[in-house]
A and B are shown apart, each in its own frame.
Chain A
Amino acid sequence: MSDVPASPASEFRDGLVELLPAMVAAAPIALLYGAVATGKGLSPLEVTLSSALIFAGGAQLAAIELWTVPVPIAALVLSTFLINARYILMSASLAPKVAHLSFGGRLIGFHVLADENWALAERRAASRRITAAYFFGSGAVFWVNWVAWSWAGTVLGPLLGDPRRFGADFAFTAIFIGLVAGFVTTSRAGLVVVASAAAATAAHLALGSPWHVLAGAFAGMAAAVLAWRPDAEGETA
């Protein structure tokens, strides 16, 4: 930490350097999202618009997995809300640490808040004041990165042909497995995953899509509530 106030340019540069690994990791996921969404019948404009306005990787991948014709709007919105409900807590945690920035800026800045840049901002806030150049700069770059690679996927997808042929449809499943593994740090979290998988599969066989998402969500939450013990306070399930 230095006593000299950092210049906006160096703050912006700091943000980029911290964000670069997350940008590189997001690129192939966005490419795949664009390619598979195109395969499901979405136009390049629709794909690009969805990445720009929704800006939530996990929820967008889930939406494309659930996407059928006619479009199940209620199921898509519900799934998006459930997957993104964590942003309520994440935003609430970060909000006091950026309260000195302009309100209009925060209204836009929080739209481009994702897991990666949220974690980076929280880490930075622990040691120094978050500046506008850092927060809005890295947010804008992360947003452009996600939207641009999603669009690139709509161009690349049709050139590659049927995603199933080279297993691209299963890449979604693999991404989700990787994401879930990141959440499973305790045996209680493992129980959540097992309960959700069992309930979702049963609901899918009995009722079909999209009921499996709701069944899995509630089974997982029920497992977490039942497995909760007072001694586990502070342990994230």
Chain B
Amino acid sequence: MSLDPVTLLAILGMALASYGCRLTGLLLGGRLALAGRAKAALDAIPPAVLTAVIAPTLLATGWPETLAGAVTILAALRLPLIGVIATGVAAVVVLRMLAA
């Protein structure tokens, strides 16, 4: 059971970022009411960040990943999350075999 100091620092930093958000909301209570453009910007953050994290994998890795991503997006339009994962994994395994 090893605990690397740099890894621990990263984990504690991420834990602080997570709990900081939850605690801020708890302490603000009902006083926070964003509207208009400010609310639109804040609402956009989760999908924008999640997209940004995977975009290079999808668009700048290779054609098997790009094609598997397209298949997965189609699956995401009609399947529950587990089905989306299964479709994506199956697609990338088959396409990578074809590419090899």
Q: Could you list which residues of chain A lie within 8 angstroms of chain B, going by C-beta atoms?
A: 25, 28, 42-46, 49-50, 53-56, 58-60, 62-63, 65-66, 70-71, 73, 76-96, 99, 106-107, 110-111, 113, 166-168, 170-181, 183-184, 188-189, 192-193, 195-201, 204-205, 209, 212-217, 219-221, 223-225, 227-228, 230, 232-233, 236-237
Contacts and interface: CB of A to CB of B under 8 A. Distances in A.
Contacts of A176: 50-51, 53-54
Contact of B65 (A46, A170, A175, A197): A170
Contact of B88 (A71, A76, A177, A213): A177
6 contacts: A53-B11, A71-B10, A83-B49, A174-B84, A176-B51, A216-B48
Contacts of B20: 81
Contacts, number: 305
A216 B51 contact: yes
Nearest to B41: A221
Interface of B: 1-4, 6-32, 34-37, 40-60, 65, 68-69, 72-73, 75-77, 81-82, 84-85, 87-90, 92-93, 96
Contacts of A181: 73, 76-77, 84
Given A180-B50, A196-B55, A86 B45 contact: yes
A59 B22 contact: no
A149 to B, nearest CB: 14
A183 B69 contact: no
Contacts of B42: 85-86, 89
Contacts of A171: 85, 88-89
Q: Which 3 residue pairs of A and B lie closest in terms of their CB atoms, listed nearest first? A: A216-B52, A220-B48, A91-B25
Contact of B48 (A54, A88, A91, A221): A221
Given A166-B89, A176-B54, A177-B84, 15 more contacts: A50-B14, A53-B14, A73-B9, A92-B29, A170-B88, A173-B69, A173-B72, A177-B72, A179-B50, A181-B77, A183-B50, A193-B51, A199-B52, A200-B52, A201-B59
Contact of A177 (B27, B76, B93): B76
A87 B25 contact: yes
Contacts of A25: 81-82
B37 A225 contact: yes
Contacts of B27: 95
A179 B93 CA distance: 21
A174 B72 contact: yes
A91 B52 contact: no
A196 B47 contact: yes
Nearest to B89: A167
A104 B46 CA distance: 29
A82 B58 contact: no
